[in-house]
Each structure stands twice: as structure tokens, then as C-alpha cells.
């Protein structure tokens, strides 16, 4: 027997499993345990003096130094300090509380460069909430650190996708819907963004253009882009950019927004910066995606039971985010199999619309068919995550491990509830038999199972 550890909220679950159990992990995660290596796969110990490549300072855990080095060698763009020259103001898009972006590594370096190029530049922080709830003051302070929060407290704007008055049309997406973005960003003399790159369950990879769409887009634009037709599209899947119509819409939106510069990082399982990519939002992002792709590919090992997670906090704090980890299991579970999903859901549903689109229907199949029948211009809020959740739950038995107070909510989503991983594993064995095969995915967000 061997022990597998699964992140859950701010802690872990451990489970003893048969020695032959397959475990699907990314090599990015392995960096945190000291198994540092170059892209070619040879295991070497990396030290600070070895970290000359701005994009691949994987063993150097000084996140600020990694970001600084990347910004000194931007991809497809002048340095940020050059872009700042002559600009009266700059809007810097920052991630919200649902993303483990190490902003304390990134933002001070971006601010430093801006002021090097233009000491008088006025900087505003725009929180890319997308469709998520607004950040609370204590969450902003925890993200930024006390010093930055105190300095920028009066220059932080939280995007509101549901307030038409705060957004403005700038064009039309390739797929048809209006492209409506936050006025603060559209009116900026210089628009830049932080972010991080990881596999994404329908956009291919996070980061880059996603700071604009859905990050600071109006609800009309987000819902048009996140329509049922695209969610059902075979190219709208984890790790796929080419031919992905959602990605193409997002690129177009970022161009219309005039996104001038990004700093995107790659993080390990401890949320430490292990690589950084700075510069043009398309070129730098593509290079970052190519880098991480070599680390996150995992071949399916079909099994009767698959255990997955959302990588712990912050992405497992609500049910809305849970389809991300579930899609990794979907790619390797056998027909009629069991998926065990671990997510604390300490913050509840993550969206009442997400919840009620499933909970208010008599069964999961009815909900799923309604999603498929919904025209692009009638997409409902949060339908995309509900559709993916339903797609998986209709085909497989899903046992969901969440905090006890979330049991009613989890069962409302038409899946089974378990109070612990041990309980869920017993339930799965009872369904599939003691000889059932098992595959474990300790961090379902960190891998591309294909």
C-alpha cells in the first residue's frame, strides 16, 4: 500500500491505496518537492546562479527575482518602463480572490518599472472579477499585503459585470456578441495585467487574454462567449488553444481593449512562482503556455474510480469552480465509473445561478438538455459551469466531499455527498467492488489529461 495526499481547503486528506494505483501529476507540482528539472527531463538541482533564463528559473523560489528577470527580457514588447513614458495614467488589471496568483511577487515589480519610466504616472488597480462576487477589503489586503493595500486603497476599482453603467461597448466579438468592457480599462492611457498560466477546462489555458474576457467584461459579453455551443465544442477543452472559438473571442477582446503588457507566472503546488513571462499579451502568453504544456501533460490511466481535487484553497472554496477538477477525472474514468471530487465549498455555491440551473430541475438529464438547447444570445449567468458539471454528473456517479454544512447544497446539484475522503472511498468501493481499479489526481487543475 502507499499513501496519496490530496489538498483540501488549507489542509490535506490522505488515503492509503494499492501500490498499483496510478497517480497523475504535473511536473510543475514536482518542483515543490525538490525534483527540479529542465524541460528535457533531466533532474538537476537549480541554484540562484543557474537561473539566467528569465522564463525558466524553475528551481529558484525567489518569486520576485523570477518576475524581475522576466520583465528585464520582455517577449515581443519594449520594457514596461518604456511603455510608461509620456503616459499620464495606467490601469493595472489584477486577479481576484478565486485565483492563487502570487501578486506580491508581481505587482511591486510592475509598479517599480512603471515609476522608473514615469515617476508621475497615476496607477489604478482594477480587480478582474469576471462573474465572481466582489472582493472583500480583508481579501484585498491579504492579496496585496498591507503596504500595497494601504497605498492603493483609494485607487482600487472592483469590476462589476452586472452594472451596464460602468462598462462600454468597444466592438464585436468574432462569434457575434457585443464586446463590452469596463470603462476604467477602456479609458486608460496604458492597460496592463498580471496573471498566471495553468490548464483551463474550456479556455485551454488561463492567463493572458483572460484578464480581459471574462476578467473585466460585461455580463452580455461573458455570456455570449461562454455559450452552450462553445462549451459543447470539442476544441473548448483543457490544454487546447488552436481552433478554440472561446480563445479566439478572448484574443479579439484583448486587442480591442488595447492590452499593452502582461506579466504572467507559473506556480507550483505550494503557489510559489517558478517561471514568469512578460511582454506582449499574445506572444508572452503563448510562450508561457508552451512552457507549462511540457510539464502538465498526463496520459489517461482508465479506472473504475477516479479521485480528483481543485488543488485546495482558493479554487476549492465554492462549487462553481469544481468542474475544473472534475474534467481531469472525466478524461480518465471508465464508462459508468465513479468520480470522487474534493472541494470544501466553504464559500457555498459560488453563484446562485450556477446552483439553481441544476437544482431547480427534476433531474440532471433535463438540466443538461436545457443547456444544449439554449441559443447563444440567451445564455444564462454561470450556465457554462453548470453545463460542464451536468455533462459529467449525467455520465458518471459523482461523490462530492465538502464541508458538512454544504451537504444540502451538494445534494441539490444531483450528486452524492460524503463528509470525508474515507467515507467517499468506501461508498465508491461499495458501488464498483473491492477489485475496482483506481486512479488518483491530487491536483485536478494542474494537469492536462490527454
The catalytic site residues sit at: 132, 200
Which residue in 91, 94, 39 sits closest to 265, CA to CA?
94
**Cβ contacts of 189 within 8 Å, gap of 6 or more:** 87, 88, 89, 90
Distance of alpha carbon 131 from alpha carbon 384, whole angstroms: 11
- The residues pairing with 396 across neighbouring beta strands, listed in sequence order, are none
Contacts (Cβ under 8 Å, ≥6 apart) of 108: 64, 148
Q: How far apart are CA 111 and CA 80, in angstroms?
A: 9
> What are the two backbone dihedrals, phi and then psi, of residue 99, each rounded to the nearest 5 degrees?
-120, 130
Helix (H) or strand (E) holding 43: none
Cα–Cα dist 46/28, whole Å: 14
Give the chain's length: 450
Question: Quick check: helix, strand or coil at residue 149?
Answer: helix
Q: CA dihedral in degrees (211, 90, 181, 372; nearest 10)?
A: 0
Under 8 Å between Cβ of 208 and 262: yes
DSSP readout, 287-311?
HHHHHHHHHHEE----EEEEEEE--
Q: Cite the beta strand spans of 280-376 per DSSP E.
A: 297-298, 303-309, 333-342
Establish whether the linkage from the previous residue to 6 is cis, with ω within 30° of 0.
no
Distance between CA atoms of 446 and 450, rounded to whole angstroms?
Answer: 13
Distance, in Å, from the CA atom of 423 to the CA atom of 411, rounded to the nearest integer, reads 16
Q: How far apart are CA 276 and CA 60, in angstroms?
A: 12
Residue 97 and residue 139 in contact, taking contact as beta carbons nearer than 8 Å: yes
164: left (phi over 0), alpha (psi -120 to 50) or beta: alpha
Region label for 53, one of left (φ > 0), alpha (ψ between -120 and 50) or beta (otherwise)? beta
Amino acid at each position: 500500500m502507499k499513501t496519496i495526499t490530496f489538498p483540501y481547503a488549507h489542509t490535506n486528506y490522505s488515503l492509503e491505496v494499492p501500490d498499483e494505483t496510478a497517480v497523475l501529476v504535473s511536473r510543475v507540482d514536482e518542483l515543490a518537492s525538490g525534483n527540479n528539472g529542465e524541460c528535457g527531463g533531466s533532474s538537476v538541482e537549480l541554484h540562484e546562479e543557474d537561473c539566467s533564463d528569465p522564463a525558466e528559473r524553475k528551481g529558484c523560489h525567489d518569486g520576485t527575482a523570477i518576475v524581475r528577470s522576466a520583465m528585464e527580457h520582455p517577449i515581443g514588447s519594449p520594457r514596461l518602463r518604456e511603455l510608461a513614458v509620456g503616459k499620464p495614467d495606467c490601469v493595472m488589471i489584477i486577479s481576484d480572490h478565486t485565483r492563487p496568483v502570487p501578486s506580491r511577487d508581481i505587482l511591486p515589480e510592475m509598479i517599480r518599472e512603471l515609476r522608473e519610466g514615469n515617476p508621475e504616472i497615476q496607477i489604478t488597480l482594477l480587480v478582474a472579477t469576471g462573474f465572481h462576487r466582489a472582493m472583500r477589503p480583508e481579501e484585498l489586503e491579504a492579496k496585496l499585503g498591507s503596504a500595497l493595500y494601504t497605498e492603493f486603497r483609494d485607487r482600487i476599482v472592483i469590476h462589476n459585470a452586472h452594472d451596464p453603467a460602468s462598462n462600454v461597448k468597444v466592438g464585436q466579438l468574432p462569434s457575434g456578441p457585443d464586446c463590452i468592457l469596463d470603462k476604467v480599462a477602456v479609458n486608460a492611457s496604458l492597460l496592463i495585467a498580471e496573471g498566471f498560466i495553468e490548464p483551463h477546462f474550456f479556455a485551454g489555458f488561463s492567463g493572458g487574454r483572460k484578464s480581459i474576457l471574462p476578467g473585466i467584461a460585461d455580463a452580455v459579453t461573458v455570456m455570449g462567449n461562454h455559450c452552450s455551443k462553445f462549451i459543447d465544442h470539442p476544441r473548448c477543452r483543457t490544454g487546447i488553444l488552436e481552433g478554440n472559438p472561446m480563445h479566439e473571442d478572448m484574443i479579439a477582446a484583448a486587442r480591442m481593449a488595447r492590452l499593452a503588457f502582461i506579466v504572467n507566472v507559473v506556480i507550483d503546488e505550494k503557489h510559489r512562482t517558478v517561471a514568469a513571462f512578460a511582454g506582449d499579451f499574445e506572444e508572452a502568453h503563448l510562450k508561457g503556455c508552451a512552457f507549462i504544456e511540457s510539464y502538465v501533460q498526463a496520459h489517461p490511466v482508465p479506472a473504475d474510480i477516479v479521485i480528483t481535487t481543485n488543488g485546495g484553497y482558493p479554487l476549492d472554496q465554492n462549487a462553481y469552480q469544481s468542474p475544473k477538477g472534475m474534467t481531469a477525472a472525466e478524461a480518465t474514468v471508465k464508462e459508468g465509473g465513479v468520480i470522487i471530487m474534493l472541494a470544501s465549498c466553504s464559500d457555498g455555491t459560488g453563484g446562485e445561478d450556477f446552483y439553481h440551473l441544476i437544482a431547480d430541475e427534476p433531474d440532471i438529464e433535463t438540466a443538461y438538455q436545457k443547456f444544449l438547447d439554449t441559443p447563444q444570445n440567451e445564455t444564462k449567468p454561470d450556465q457554462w459551469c453548470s453545463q460542464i458539471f451536468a455533462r459529467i454528473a449525467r455520465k458518471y456517479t459523482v461523490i462530492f466531499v465538502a464541508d458538512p454544512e454544504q451537504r444540502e447544497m451538494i445534494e441539490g446539484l444531483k450528486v452524492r455527498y460524503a463528509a470525508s475522503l474515507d467515507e467517499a472511498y468506501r461508498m465508491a468501493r461499495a458501488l464498483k467492488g473491492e477489485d475496482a481499479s483506481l486512479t488518483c489526481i491530487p491536483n485536478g487543475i494542474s494537469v492536462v489529461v490527454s
